[in-house]
Structure 1
Amino acid sequence: MSFELKQIASGIWSGSFSSFPSDVASHGLSGRLGGVSEAPYDSLNLALHVGDEPEAVIVNRRRYLTALGLDAARLVTPEQVHGEAIARVTARDASRGALSYDDAIAATDALITDEEDLPLLLCFADCTPILFLDPVRRAVGIAHGGWKGTVRRIAAKTVRRMQDEFGSRVEDILVGIGPSIGPCCYEVGAEVAEQFRAAFPGHERELFTEPQPGHTHLSLWAANTIQLEEAGIPREHIDCASVCTACNHAIFYSYRADGGRTGRMAAVIALKKQS
């Protein structure tokens, strides 16, 4: 398994997981290059809610999804609120949030579907994108793993929801943990650290490092991997990009490294039509 970042169209870079079979689904994790947005959103900002010109975002979405072989007019995206709500979407939801943030799926931080040709899109700038693919039952999903979603186990809850909705088996589900702020850069305060200690007892060594006395760093990658394994996903089915958005904010958006005013990358996945 591996994560690869490559140029998929003129100036547009995208990451993907080799563990996800390309004959079942299209997926990608965008970078920040190749779009039309101006600073501080430069340049491939894919979020409508951060203050960028909506016309630029729509052009960027069309460019990126076209490069993935997908129809931007059909994408479905939610209003992300750092919660744990998970929505199953269908063809009736096609285009929700595509052109206006006002009609996005309300107050939701994970989307799942078994509909073909229905791109799911969530936005990120340091939070952890978590992609799911069940190639047997043919179902996909994306979860938004910020620290609040992660400590509330949104990744594990998405697995359970796929089991409930689609009959997915944990031994079949493939998971990709995309670029996000890494333990190298993610310093947290005592209150956040205590919530993770309570949520993941016995995993102190995996979750935390202290590069300097009194400075605690958290690994969202480890926290999401732990909960996925505890949910029954085989370790060999969990592919982590291990790419820090803060270290690499010339390539990816980083809320921390960019000073809080920046664009958003996107995680996208869609089932392909069966031939």
Structure 2
Amino acid sequence: MAYYLKQAGKNLWHGKFSIFPEDLAVHAISTRLGGVSRPPYDTLDLALHVGDEAAAVRENRGLFARSLGLDARRIVTPEQVHGDVVACVDEQDAGRGSQSYDDCIKETDALITDTPGLPLMLCFADCTPIVFLDPEKRAVGIAHGGWKGTVQSIAAKTLARMTEAFGTQPRDVLVGIGPSIGPCCYEVGAEVAARFCAAFPYAEELLLHETDGHVHLDLWEANRQQLLRSGVPEENIEVAGECTCCRHAWYYSYRADQGKTGRIAALISLRS
């Protein structure tokens, strides 16, 4: 199993998880390359809420969606607030947030669906994309795993909501944990470390590492452990292992770009 980058057009790239069957779902993690946005959002900014020109973002979304054989006007995307709310969406939600931030799914950090041809998309700049595919019940999801969502168990709650809505069994689920700030770069303060220790009894052993007197947090492992402890087999989880801060020439990084930057996206859509 491996995460890899695949060129999809003129300087346009798809981050792909080999674990996901291409005949069941279309998926990709975007990079920051191949779009039309100007600095500091250069160039494939896919977020309508960060100060970029809306027309440029809509054009970028069109470029990205067409490279996947999808219609950007059908994308469903939420207002991400670093919480733990999971929304189940269907055909009546098609297009919400795709062209205007005003009509996105409000105050939501994960989306799930079993509707074919309905693209789910969330945006990221250092937070962790967590992409789900249930090949048995034919359902998909994406969660936004920043530190606040992760400490609230957003990955486990997304899986639980898929079980509730679609009858998903954790043993069947395939999960990709996408590019985000890695433990190499994610230095956190005492308050964040304490929150993780309070939430996860294994935090000090598996999630928090001290380097040169500074505490670093491993969001990849934090989300992987949630999934393992929810019943997802280890071989069903693929971790990209790409640090957005180290590789911010390829990915947007809030930390590396000092807060003013665009957003990559994670997208998945069941095939019709």
Instruction: Give the TM-score normalised by the residue count of structure 2.
Output: 0.99
Q: C-alpha separation between the residues in 1 aligned to 2:102 and 2:202?
A: 42
Q: C-alpha separation between the residues in 2 aligned to 1:101 and 1:180?
A: 23
* Equivalent residue number for residue 260 of structure 2: 261
Q: C-alpha separation between the residues in 2 aligned to 1:237 and 1:259?
A: 35
Structure 1 residue 24 displacement after superposition: 0.2
Q: C-alpha separation between the residues in 2 aligned to 1:114 and 1:202?
A: 34
Q: C-alpha separation between the residues in 1 aligned to 2:53 and 2:202?
A: 46
Secondary structure of the residue aligned to 2:142 is: strand
* Equivalent residue number for residue 62 of structure 2: 62
Which letter does structure 2 place at the counterpart of 1:18?
S
Structure 1 residue 203 displacement after superposition: 3.7
* Equivalent residue number for residue 127 of structure 1: 127
Q: C-alpha separation between the residues in 1 aligned to 2:9 and 2:233?
A: 34
Residues 86, 111 of structure 2: 8 Å contact kept: yes
* Equivalent residue number for residue 248 of structure 2: 249
Residue pairs, 1:225-236, within 5 angstroms: 225-236=224-235
* Equivalent residue number for residue 237 of structure 2: 238
Residue pairs, 1:7-26, within 5 angstroms: 7-26=7-26
* Equivalent residue number for residue 271 of structure 2: 272
* Equivalent residue number for residue 166 of structure 1: 166
Structure 1 residue 202 displacement after superposition: 2.6
Q: C-alpha separation between the residues in 1 aligned to 2:114 and 2:208?
A: 36
Structure 1 residue 117 displacement after superposition: 0.4
Q: C-alpha separation between the residues in 2 aligned to 1:174 and 1:261?
A: 33
Q: C-alpha separation between the residues in 2 aligned to 1:77 and 1:194?
A: 32
Q: C-alpha separation between the residues in 1 aligned to 2:11 and 2:90?
A: 32
Structure 1 residue 206 displacement after superposition: 1.6
Secondary structure of the residue aligned to 1:155 is: helix
Q: What's the RMSD between the two structures over aligned residues?
A: 0.6
Residue pairs, 1:22-61, within 5 angstroms: 22-61=22-61
Residues 91, 115 of structure 2: 8 Å contact kept: yes
Secondary structure of the residue aligned to 2:172 is: coil
Structure 2 unaligned regions, length at least 5: none
Structure 1 residue 200 displacement after superposition: 1.2
Which letter does structure 2 place at the counterpart of 1:91?
E
* Equivalent residue number for residue 211 of structure 2: 211
Q: C-alpha separation between the residues in 2 aligned to 1:12 and 1:25?
A: 20
Alpha-carbon displacement from aligned partner over 1:133-176 (angstroms, at most 9, x marks no partner): 00110000000000000000000000000000000111110000
Q: C-alpha separation between the residues in 1 aligned to 2:205 and 2:245?
A: 22
* Equivalent residue number for residue 105 of structure 1: 105
Aligned residues: 272
Which letter does structure 2 place at the counterpart of 1:121?
M
Q: C-alpha separation between the residues in 2 aligned to 1:138 and 1:71?
A: 20
Q: C-alpha separation between the residues in 2 aligned to 1:126 and 1:75?
A: 22
Which letter does structure 2 place at the counterpart of 1:120?
L
Which letter does structure 2 place at the counterpart of 1:33?
L
Q: C-alpha separation between the residues in 2 aligned to 1:131 and 1:9?
A: 23
Alpha-carbon displacement from aligned partner over 1:213-246 (angstroms, at most 9, x marks no partner): 2x10000001001111111111111100010000
Instruction: Give the TM-score normalised by the residue count of structure 1.
Output: 0.98
Structure 1 residue 14 displacement after superposition: 1.5
Q: C-alpha separation between the residues in 1 aligned to 2:102 and 2:171?
A: 38
Q: C-alpha separation between the residues in 2 aligned to 1:203 and 1:143?
A: 21
* Equivalent residue number for residue 115 of structure 2: 115
Alpha-carbon displacement from aligned partner over 1:57-76 (angstroms, at most 9, x marks no partner): 00000000110111101000
Which letter does structure 2 place at the counterpart of 1:267?
A
* Equivalent residue number for residue 192 of structure 1: 192
Structure 1 residue 205 displacement after superposition: 2.4
